[in-house]
Amino acid sequence: MENKNSYVPSRFNALANTDDNGVILFNSYNGAIVHFTEEEKANVLPSLKRTGTKELATAIQKDLFDNGFLVSSQVDEKRRAQYLHQSLHRTDVMHLVLLPTEACNFRCTYCYESFERGKMNRETINGLKALVEEKATNLSQLNISWFGGEPLLSLDVIEELSLSFQASAKENHIHYACDLVTNGYLLTKEVFQKLLSWEIRQFMITIDGNADVHDSRRHFAGGGKTFDTIIRNLHAIKEMDDQFEITIRVNFDDSNLEEVPKLIEFLKTDFADDKRFGLIFRPVGRWGGENNDDLPVCSRIIANNKIWEFSDDAVSKGIGLSPMVAGSLMPTGSVCYAAKPHSLVVGSNGQLYKCTVSFDEEINHVGKIHEDGRLDLDYDKIAQWVTSGEETDSICQSCFYRPACQGNHCPYYRMMTGERPCPYEKRQIKKVLNLIWKNSLQ
Ligand code: SF4
Ligand code: SF4
Sequence-distant (≥ 6) Cβ neighbours of residue 246 within 8 angstroms: 203, 204, 205, 234, 237, 276, 277, 278
Residue 3: pLDDT band with limits 50, 70, 90: low
State the chain's mean pLDDT as an integer. 95
Distances (CA, A) of 172 to 68, 135, 196: 35, 10, 21
Instruction: Write down the pLDDT at residue 286.
Output: 84
pLDDT, one tens digit per residue, over 150-198 is: 999 999 999 999 999 999 999 999 999 999 999 999 999 999 999 999 9
In the chain, domain spans: 92-117+126-327
pLDDT, one tens digit per residue, over 385-404 is: 999 899 889 999 999 999 99
Residue 292: pLDDT band with limits 50, 70, 90: confident
* CA-CA-CA-CA torsion sign (111, 117, 121, 127): negative
Residues 325, 432 contacting (CB under 8 angstroms): yes
Residue 291: pLDDT band with limits 50, 70, 90: confident
Q: Could you tell me the distance, in angstroms and rounded to a whole number, from the CA of residue 29 to the centre of ligand 2?
A: 14
Virtual torsion, Cα 67, 73, 77, 79, nearest 10 deg: -140
Distances (CA, A) of 119 to 96, 329, 344, 436: 17, 35, 18, 40
Range list of β-strands (E), 37-184: 70-72, 93-98, 106-108, 141-146, 175-182
Instruction: Write down the pLDDT at residue 290.
Output: 77
* Site to substitute for ligand 2 among 82, 402, 428, most atoms within 8 A of C-beta: 402
Residue 294: pLDDT band with limits 50, 70, 90: confident
Q: Would you tell me which CATH number, out of the four given (3.20.20.70, 1.10.645.10, 1.10.3720.10, 3.90.550.10), belongs to the domain 92-117+126-327? A: 3.20.20.70
Q: What is the mean pLDDT of residues 134-146?
A: 97
Distance (Å, rounded) from C-alpha 12 to C-alpha 80? 11
217: pLDDT strictly greater than 60: yes
H helix intervals, 240-339: 260-271, 300-316, 323-327
Ligand nearest to the CA of 328: 2
7: pLDDT strictly greater than 80: yes
Is the CB of 409 within 6 Å of ligand 2?
yes
Q: Quick one: which atom of ligand 1 is closest to the CA of 411?
A: 1
Q: At what angle do helices 300-316 and 260-271 cross, to 10 degrees?
A: 30
User: pLDDT exceeding 70 applies to what percent of the chain?
Assistant: 99
Is the CB of 11 within 6 Å of ligand 2?
no
Q: Using the CB atoms, write b or e for 305-324: b if 16+ within 10 Å.
A: ebbbbbbbbbbeeebbbbeb
Q: What angle do CA 55, 61, 64 make, to 5 degrees?
A: 125
Instruction: Write down the pLDDT at residue 4.
Output: 67
Closest CA to 97 of 407, 387, 425, 366: 366
Of 5 and 48, which is predicted with more confidence?
48
pLDDT, one tens digit per residue, over 240-269 is: 999 999 999 999 999 999 999 999 999 999
Enter the pTM of the model: 0.94
